Structure 1
Amino acid sequence: MSSNKNALIRYKTLDKCLKNKYRKYTLDDLIDACSDALFEFEGKESYVSRRTVQLDLQNMRSEKFGYEAPIEVYDRKYYRYSDPEYSIHNISVNESDLKAMNNAVQILKQFKDFSMFKEMNGVIQKLEDSIHSTGQKSIIHLDKNEQLKGLEHIDILYDSISNKKVLNILYRSFTARESSSYTVHPQLLKEFNNRWFLICLHKGKMYNLALDRMEKIDLKEDTEYIDKDLDGDEYFKDIVGVTVSETMAPRNVIFFVDPSNAPYVKTKPLHRSQEIVSENEEGTVFKIRVQINFELERLLLGFGECLIVHQPQKLRLKLQDKFKAGYKNYENLIVPDDNRSD
């Protein structure tokens, strides 16, 4: 059992003892009560030290957890609440707290239609009822699209990662003529640019599979799960997007942004490694250190004429060719009369 859960059990037990009007509790009695409570939850002997209970009482008295419990010692050895009506479960909430909680509820409600959050619907309703939510419209709007294809797979993928289950996925990429079967060990779910991806192990290599390209998912109960113990922050630290190469080293990508768009890049960095190389009235030169992947190319192309890649040369030439091809497409474009708009 986690230390946090142990602490919650102790606080709940101490609260029960301190508000009991029909029994006197010494410090040793409180220690025994906490030990008994932990034994009941864990099913094994759990002795709570004197120092631990003393710290618990100190924390309950303080503002640390918002309790500020009126704990007093009387007759020099017994503990109780000086206010017989007090309980840590009856903490008052001020108007500012209610507003903050109401805002949090409005944000949570934006996720309620996702299948993986459906179990939260009851919790959200209870929160609304308990804080007397006004039913106001949400001030904060998160970019989401519940109609995205593939969201129906999130439940089984999430459960397979949580319970360490191997899956067989029938998958068809955008470039494939036919579907292929993948036996995968799911590791992480990743959302990028309003699309969801499964990061998984397949035949000893890491893959990212788009959920909207999955056609069928089955459990493989007869295969032992391989846990790569991935940390998302560490795994994605050198990339933009979802495509991670196990062999490619990160490179310095140096690019120029014109003065009208430089503030946007400053305030919303392309990558956490971003830094300013130089700056003048003509624009700003930035540097990021990342692996070169498809998502990075798309991001840089999205700035159009406002951004110029200086290094590495191979990336600069590749983007240059794409801009030339794009210009050629527009130069040779013939729009049929029925597709023209006024």
Structure 2
Amino acid sequence: MFRRLERFLQFDELLRSSQRYTLQSLAEALECSQRTVQYDIDFLRDRFDAPIAETRERGWHYTDADWRLDTVPLTQGEVFALTLGARMFAAYGGSAYAEELESALEQLCQRLPTETQVKLRQVRGEKVLFHIGAALVNLNPDVWQRLEFATQMEQSVRMEYFTASRNELSERVLDPYVLYIKRSNPYVTGFCHSNQDIRDFRIDRVRWVEVLPDAFEMVPGFGRRAYVDVPFFHERGGEPQRVVVEFDGRCAPYIKERQWHESQSMRELDNGWLRFEVETRSLAEVKRWVLGFGAGAIVREPPELVKMVRSELERMSKQYKEARGE
């Protein structure tokens, strides 16, 4: 069935070209018999009302250039949604599938009516852009696709990984459980044989990957969705803790317009401030997030996080004083 569909698509491209095709030249181009070509022509005419004709001057051709082979029944809205989804994925996933996505969208565009083609190309052009901040510079398409294959097939991988905190490369074997993109960063989570524990790895820090023939089974009780949803941003460690942060009236609108975490809750206070509560293990990451709002945010709980923020501010103040020679 798939070979026949592929032949139909190739046949469609041949008839839209400027070259003159006879039954024999079509059979040679499609690598099949002339009888098969004639059968396909009859099928397309009967089943899809394809306007196919043959003349001495033009050979086999479409009498209506606007006719399109409906390989996938999509509405215009569905096509636009698919295009925007692909653009968003390309923006968040870096260059891992950039060429494949562009090729797929171009082929889809060519099989649409002319008016829809124009509108779709506008969506694909620079009138609709997705910008997520700093772009990833080290995301290797081959690394991503090998990890994706190993995850789908549940096969272990050997890889070389760069640990930024220690500024060193290490080789390790990993059972990849899940791939995901969070806050614009691509991750693979799985069982690390070196650490004998479930660990997270930034995929843009993976230098190379070798898919091993060894199959693996996930650690009992591991849930992909539950694991990905727990961190505040991504960092892990320790037991979940209740965090309470209050934001002033200037920052409150920015907090209310986003879903920062699945466990979050908000309540407006009488003084115009906003009380934000969340449960997370990642206090260090919450600290950095809170500091980004400057004097517009005050940590109320837990005491450990209050101390972390205060200590960070004291160190920053000291450094600036030393820089000015005070």
- Distance change in 2, residues 1:174/1:91 (3 Å): closer
Contact 2:236–2:282 (8 Å) recurs in 1? no
Gaps of 5+ in 1: 1-88, 336-342
Q: Does 1:150 align with 2:139?
A: yes
Deviations 1:68-122 (A, max 9, x none): xxxxxxxxxxxxxxxxxxxxx69998xxx53563364255246567333543444
Say which of 130, 137, 151 aligns to 2:111: 130
Gaps of 5+ in 2: 1-69
Deviations 1:42-92 (A, max 9, x none): xxxxxxxxxxxxxxxxxxxxxxxxxxxxxxxxxxxxxxxxxxxxxxx6999
The one-letter code matched in structure 1 to 2:248 is: D
The one-letter code matched in structure 1 to 2:217 is: I
Q: How many residues align?
A: 242
Say which of 76, 80, 83 aligns to 1:105: 83
Contact 2:283–2:305 (8 Å) recurs in 1? no
Q: Secondary structure at the match of 2:79?
A: helix
- Distance change in 2, residues 1:109/1:236 (3 Å): closer
Contact 1:208–1:242 (8 Å) recurs in 2? no
1:241 alignment counterpart: 233
Deviations 1:258-281 (A, max 9, x none): 011112111213222222245123
**1:179-328 pair list within 5 angstroms:** 179-203=169-193, 204-221=196-213, 223-228=214-219, 231-245=223-237, 248-328=238-318
* TM-score with structure 2 setting the length: 0.64
- Distance change in 2, residues 1:232/1:280 (3 Å): farther
- Distance change in 2, residues 1:105/1:118 (3 Å): same
- Distance change in 2, residues 1:193/1:148 (3 Å): farther
**Within 2, Cα distance between the matches of 1:188 and 1:276?**
31
- Determine what percentage of the aligned residue pairs are the same residue: 15
Deviations 1:157-208 (A, max 9, x none): 1111111121112223122254222111011122233222211111331111
* TM-score with structure 1 setting the length: 0.61
The one-letter code matched in structure 2 to 1:328 is: K
Q: Secondary structure at the match of 2:166?
A: coil
Q: RMSD between aligned alpha carbons?
A: 3.1
The one-letter code matched in structure 1 to 2:218 is: D
Contact 1:161–1:188 (8 Å) recurs in 2? yes
**Within 2, Cα distance between the matches of 1:306 and 1:233?**
33
The structure with higher relative contact order (CA 8 Å, sep 6+) is 2
2:56 alignment counterpart: none
- Distance change in 2, residues 1:140/1:289 (3 Å): farther
Q: Offset of 1:133 from its aligned partner?
A: 1.8
